[in-house]
Amino acid sequence: MNSYAALGKGDEQLQERKDDRLEGRTTSAGSSTRLDGWQGKLKAEKSGRSNVKFRTNNSIQPGDGLNEMKARLQVMKFGGTSVGDAACIARTAQIIAKAAKESGCIAVVSAMSGVTNRLIEAAKKAQEGNTGEAATVVDVLRKQHEAALTTLIHHENERARIRRCLEEVLAEGRRLCEGTALLCELTPRTLDAISSLGERLSAPLVAAAVRELGLPSEAIEATELIVTDAFHGGAEPHMELTRAKSQARLRPLLEKRIAPVVTGFIGATAAGQLTTLGRGGSDYSATILGAAMDADEVIIWTDVDGVLTADPRLVAEARTIPVISYREAAELAYFGAKVLHPKTLNPVVQAAIPVWIRNSFAPERPGTKITPEGRSIGGGVKALTAIRDVTLISVGGPGIVGLPDVLGRTFSTTAEVRANVLLISQSSSQNDICFIVATVDAQRTVEALRKEFAQDLAHHKVEHITVDSNVAIVAVVGENMRGTPGIAGKTFNALGRENVNLIAIAQGSSECNISFVIEEQAVKTALITTHREFGLDASPS
Ligand code: ASP
Ligand code: MG
């Protein structure tokens, strides 16, 4: 799917959009004990360290005998492009070192850009029995990491130490590929083990680069911190166990003012089996750790300035949005704005931890802040987003009126073939149901529907199942659109003026998102005209 915030200079694409299971986060487990060590230490250190910022911790009552100060804690995630080569890693290390000097900082890193794709490719080659190609990939990765190591680390001893650590990971990769090739079988568990190697290579490099700046830092594998279920390729965290493990492992480091650099993307089952959180999952790792560690904020450092009002490749006036709500960010994430992994906000919602999206290539820019409430503006419209590479399927004909099971059977069928339905519309006359799926899912969906409704088609109860892949979805998103009359009117007026024909329309009763289906060629016009209509190019949102 191709959509606006897929602007990352080669940031790897999200490939899976799985349903969310909102995991409740426990707040019980003795918050005062949790703070003791960290606080006591800081209390002792406080007088000596004037550059450490302190803040009042609201969870502690005045007069309860504890020092009500707690150091700020930031969790910072750096995506593939932010650790893409030695120069990027050096920039990233600067950001971590600066934050770690000022307050507590836990870094979470992705693999160097392109690495995860390459590893998956190697795994697939190995599965075909092609060990040669898999070995070549491992060699390419060695060279890539070695080049960064040589540029970043100056002391030969330190370099040799890191090199040994990288070699161990690479050797493991080679063995995994050999095993796969031997069996010509790639289990989801092995694929996780192979695709996680990139993060296990980048974290030691980043930690070493931070140390190079004179700040203590240690690479940590998230298998020691994040406990997940056993759903390989898209594991879900168990927050209570994750909290216990992360606190136990990371607090002592923070107390010693050592900056942990954690592998993103990875977790492990309670039994210690490595899992991954799904493609693009390092964002999710960051918020999981943010919640588990009671962080004050999570910062997602990436290669764009933040969340934009529209795709700047299509709308030249698109701007960075300074503040948006969790809800709006989630709408945009689900609706194809690939700045964030769709599950990213789940772990932080309950604790209301703000999440920033900032540009590691331009750290002076403010970025976008995602908060529980966002910020209200004029018309309530915050951003536009478009999804292409989608297909409209419609099931209908007058014969379906009053057939009570058509809807049920249609969507049981889409579920059976695991087609993610992006938009649904049915008019009250019930003559027609139409819905949108990703084009990659369209063929198998239609085939399954034709099979399911074969009898009904033969008897003309269902008259057609039609497919149109020349379409796109455009969505108008904003939390404060709720209860604001005229937004649909303004949108559709503007589109009418530009002769953009609406094929289907959907708005949920949450009123945060009005989505409409138009011909693919009309996307640019639709975005530009709607963007202007709501003045998204002008006032700060
Ligand atoms: N390296 C993983 C991927 O490419 C995770 C991430 O970058 O967030 O999907
Ligand atoms: Mg990413």
**Ligand 1 site-directed mutation target among 13, 92, 110, 195, most atoms within 8 Å of CB:** 110
Comparing CA positions, the residue from 135, 104, 108 lying closest to residue 119 is 135
For every residue of 342-404, DSSP letters joined together read TTTTHHHHTTT--EEEEETTSTTS--EEEESS----TTS--EEEEEEEEEEEEEE-GGGTT-T
Ligand 1 atom nearest the C-alpha of 279 is 9
What's the 14 CA to ligand 1 centre distance in angstroms? 8
Q: What share of the chain is helix, strand, coil (3-state, %, to 5)?
A: 40, 20, 35
H runs (alpha helix) in 256-310: 282-292
How far is residue 129 CA from its own chain's centroid?
33
pLDDT in tens, the chain (541 residues): 434 433 333 334 333 322 332 232 223 333 333 333 333 333 333 333 333 333 333 343 433 333 334 679 999 999 999 999 999 999 999 999 999 999 999 999 999 999 999 999 999 999 999 999 999 999 999 999 999 999 999 999 999 999 999 999 999 999 999 999 999 999 999 999 999 999 999 999 999 999 999 999 999 999 999 999 999 999 999 999 999 999 999 999 999 999 999 999 999 999 999 999 999 999 999 999 999 999 999 999 998 888 889 988 899 999 999 999 998 888 886 655 567 887 899 999 989 999 999 999 999 999 999 999 887 665 689 999 999 999 999 998 877 777 778 899 999 999 999 888 989 998 776 678 999 999 999 999 999 999 999 998 998 888 889 999 999 999 999 988 888 888 999 999 999 999 999 999 988 767 788 999 999 999 999 999 999 999 998 755 4
What's the 366 CA to ligand 2 centre distance in angstroms? 20
All CATH 3.30.2130.10 domain ranges of the chain, comma separated, are 8-31+382-533
pLDDT of residue 540: 56
Neighbours of ion ligand 2 (CB under 5 A): 11, 79, 280
Comparing CA positions, the residue from 519, 403, 423, 425 lying closest to residue 475 is 423
pLDDT of residue 52: 35
CA end-to-end span of the chain, whole Å? Answer: 27
- DSSP SS3 for 101: helix
CA distance 326 to 349: 7
pLDDT of residue 56: 35
Write the DSSP symbol of residue 427: -
Ligand 1 atom nearest the C-alpha of 111 is 1
Question: For residues 200 and 110, is the Cβ–Cβ distance under 8 A?
Answer: no
Ligand 1 atom nearest the C-alpha of 285 is 8
Cα-based distances in Å from 478 to 143, 279, 323, 380:
46, 27, 12, 6
CA-closest residue to ligand 1 atom 6: 280
Q: Which residues does residue 396 pair with via DSSP β-bridges, in sequence order? A: 432, 464
Burial 39-72 (b: 16+ CB within 10 A, else e): bebbeeeeeeeeebeeeebeebeeeeebebbbbb
In terms of CATH architecture, what is 65-293? 3-Layer(aba) Sandwich (3.40)
CA-closest residue to ligand 1 atom 8: 280
**Global pTM exceeds 0.85:** no
What's the 281 CA to ligand 1 centre distance in angstroms? 6
Ligand 1 atom nearest the C-alpha of 15 is 9
- DSSP SS3 for 465: strand
Comparing CA positions, the residue from 387, 388, 371, 344 lying closest to residue 479 is 371
- Cβ(264) to ligand 1 under 6 A? yes
CA distance 270 to 227: 6
- Cβ(245) to ligand 1 under 6 A? no
Fold classification of 8-31+382-533 is VC0802-like (3.30.2130)
- DSSP SS3 for 421: strand
Among left, alpha and beta (phi > 0; psi -120 to 50; other), residue 503 is alpha
Question: For residues 249 and 84, is the Cβ–Cβ distance under 8 A?
Answer: no
- Cβ(108) to ligand 1 under 6 A? no
What's the 307 CA to ligand 1 centre distance in angstroms? 19
Sign of CA dihedral 199, 200, 205, 208: positive
- Cβ(282) to ligand 1 under 6 A? yes
Question: For residues 260 and 315, is the Cβ–Cβ distance under 8 A?
Answer: no
**Ligand 1 site-directed mutation target among 197, 265, 343, most atoms within 8 Å of CB:** 265
pLDDT of residue 47: 36
Ligand 1 atom nearest the C-alpha of 110 is 7
Comparing CA positions, the residue from 243, 229, 326, 296 lying closest to residue 21 is 229
**Ligand 1 site-directed mutation target among 77, 116, 262, most atoms within 8 Å of CB:** 116
All CATH 3.40.1160.10 domain ranges of the chain, comma separated, are 65-293
What's the 202 CA to ligand 2 centre distance in angstroms? 14
Q: What is the CA radius of gyration of the chain?
A: 25
What's the 541 CA to ligand 2 centre distance in angstroms? 25
